Structure 1
């Protein structure tokens, strides 16, 4: 095991040197880069556009926070003069931990190379579940730099590692999406590849700010950057979110067992887990079997954050306890009532009183270590069905889910979350509505 770790370190060092030589900047090396992210209203998926290939073509991709690597449908219409397959035994194949080799019997093309044996990966559609089989590929990508307040010049990285997939893997995606952008904790995840390519002051860190409204861009930042947003009602007034006093921190955990649909023995999960000690409703703890909040030796349990799950999913006993406490706090003093459920939600209510933080309901909180709290208000706890009907935006995940709590995208909207991979730390803001800001208030 020690020898394998040493060999991977040498490979990563070599790839960093190559990437540093091949990274092309418009001026100096960037300290931060960004991608826009938008919400698809029909699928409630978060999508971005990555410029890839020569000539550069924007590919629409579903954002997968915990995805092992980026994968793209190469079966139709992928043409690029800078495309390269990953030859078996090469440094990129070793870095991606792929030792499966194969040839394609059809004419050579991206995703199907005959000249040499190429190493293969298992791209996964984490929206609907299917796992595919595709070669490791490399091509040029271009991403805009930023000073934290607006987009800057494009910066390019050659030999960006991703996986080719077929169109059979694109099931239940937002219209036009051709793959998934993998932001997971992996040597070939996008955040680590960018940090390796630009080196120096480019930190292995990224932040997501998901928009709550369709047709409005939120933003994903890469590297170390201020996060400067304008006010909802006054574009001349700006706030650097990285300086907010209510920015809180908690530890990130690694699940020692892979949570991917197809994995190798001993492979760790690339998803982002956090340590939740309790859940509060109206500032009072609910009843929870605390063993569910820890990851056991088979990789079950615990709490992770996801952009693929549209709503937070709770193990059944946790879900029942949350709903019971919510209704006990909601009905007596709020003069509201339960109404007919609306799929996929079980618990829907009349809700007519609105505040600057969304519909007026009892607050919910995740409590992390050292009593660090993430308070969730109506804008993130409830889903509007009509003007006077809202549903609790939490789903019942059954009695034995792989992960006990999956904090979903609706609960992340208009919150900024910063993932520091080097320090194993998550920073989060709670809702930016406190500051009169939405994630769509970055200047694109």
Structure 2
């Protein structure tokens, strides 16, 4: 005969399981997480979202920090999703997109002007709404997809994809506007209007939402960032993200330049622009030549040997005999001095030198020409393995020291943070 304990055991287990489920906290995400992969053939950074209801179509998009809004190939989205629809003129969504001027010629549909950030071709596209799904985290749990039910983007003809990475279907805009991805994420989930980018030569990661983003190793990075304000023009936002670089030091020695050459661009405004759409940093010609003269002098002082330049680079060195450390080759250190001498963006060998062959490395800064729109543009290679936080509410950029100094990389952060299994939540 069974004992009383044996008879009661199933009931006890059922009660325990029921209590455990009852006590489980609801899943409340604090950040969106998107994978970022570098296309080494086009030097572009690509992420992926899912578009449509069921089935959801995986959609690759090129990341553009200056993009005022996202746009996608209309031929692809119309075939992949039956849940999308155009936005009417004079609607709240059209007003948010600041596209009301498109409604003056009897148009019934709100239209935008999507631009290819590589070719600079601009076309007409309808403002469109659809469901997209993105990976989210609550700071502990990963592996969940959440939907943004009313995501706004522009349709675009297939010809606008020219020059973009193979397989991509458009551009993900991260600009400081009301319909960029960070703003739409914030509106949907109630997050702060900020996002963080950690680019890599292989696999990086994009966060949009609260910080710290994960309670995992190295999550303290977001708590110890150096802060610098964005630059504005007459109280208005520029297209893209600009910071003020007051001076440049090479191996601790300040370059002799006119400070205004760093602060004024072709339009007479702005400063140093941060871009994901150019592979290497560029400088206006006069500034560039002063920069390379100072860099060559510092390199020769370290007994580095110049060699013939390899296109597209203007200055190259022999890598033989140059020590290589965790932070890259032992070459002159570049410091971008920001609002004060105490606030510096440091560029070490990993982000200043490009290894073009077994024996040759080149300085990863290019001549942007005399008519460069930005006097100084920080490109993708200089951003890699640096953690950058763009706070749209406080208009501040937070940036880390090179992550290699802390024995980690953006690829490591991606491995720690990206989902390994998927569940779906609707918010």
Measured against the shorter chain, the TM-score band is 0.7 to 0.9
Unmatched segments (≥5 aa) in structure 2: 1-24, 419-427
- Larger Cα-atom Rg: 2
TM-score, with normalisation over the residues of structure 1? 0.82
Alignment of 1:301-320 (within 5 A): 302-320=271-289
Q: How many pairs were matched up?
A: 385
1:427 equivalent in alignment to 2:401: no
Alignment of 1:341-420 (within 5 A): 341-352=309-320, 353-371=323-341, 372-420=343-391
- Assess if the C-alpha contact under 8 Å between 2:28 and 2:138 holds in 1: no
Residues 1:243 and 1:300: Cα distance change in structure 2 (over 3 Å): closer
Q: Secondary structure of 1:276's match? A: coil
Whole-Å Cα distance in 2 between the matches of residues 297 and 327 of structure 1?
Answer: 27
Q: Secondary structure of 1:346's match? A: coil
1:211 equivalent in alignment to 2:190: no
- TM superposition shift of 1:149: 6.2
Whole-Å Cα distance in 1 between the matches of residues 348 and 116 of structure 2?
Answer: 31
1:86 equivalent in alignment to 2:87: yes
1:72 equivalent in alignment to 2:42: no
- TM superposition shift of 1:242: 3.1
- TM superposition shift of 1:185: 0.4
Residues 1:256 and 1:136: Cα distance change in structure 2 (over 3 Å): farther
- TM superposition shift of 1:292: 2.2
Alignment of 1:315-354 (within 5 A): 315-334=284-303, 336-352=304-320, 353-354=323-324
Aligned counterpart, 1:183: 174
Question: Per-residue CA shift, 1:263-321, capped at 9, x if unaligned?
Answer: xxxx8423111011001111111122222222479454511100111110101111111
- Assess if the C-alpha contact under 8 Å between 2:265 and 2:372 holds in 1: no
Unmatched segments (≥5 aa) in structure 1: 1-25, 104-113, 231-237, 258-266
- TM superposition shift of 1:252: 1.2
Whole-Å Cα distance in 1 between the matches of residues 220 and 207 of structure 2?
Answer: 12
Residues 1:36 and 1:243: Cα distance change in structure 2 (over 3 Å): closer
- Assess if the C-alpha contact under 8 Å between 2:233 and 2:270 holds in 1: no
Question: Per-residue CA shift, 1:152-188, capped at 9, x if unaligned?
Answer: 3111111111000011111111110111100000111
Residues 1:49 and 1:255: Cα distance change in structure 2 (over 3 Å): farther
Residues 1:347 and 1:228: Cα distance change in structure 2 (over 3 Å): farther
Q: Secondary structure of 1:36's match? A: strand
Aligned counterpart, 1:242: 221
RMSD in angstroms over aligned alpha carbons? Answer: 2.3
- Assess if the C-alpha contact under 8 Å between 1:255 and 1:295 holds in 2: no
Whole-Å Cα distance in 1 between the matches of residues 118 and 328 of structure 2?
Answer: 28
TM-score, with normalisation over the residues of structure 2? 0.85
Bigger fraction of residues in helix:
2
Whole-Å Cα distance in 2 between the matches of residues 384 and 96 of structure 1?
Answer: 43
Aligned counterpart, 1:41: 40
- TM superposition shift of 1:225: 2.4
Aligned counterpart, 1:271: 240
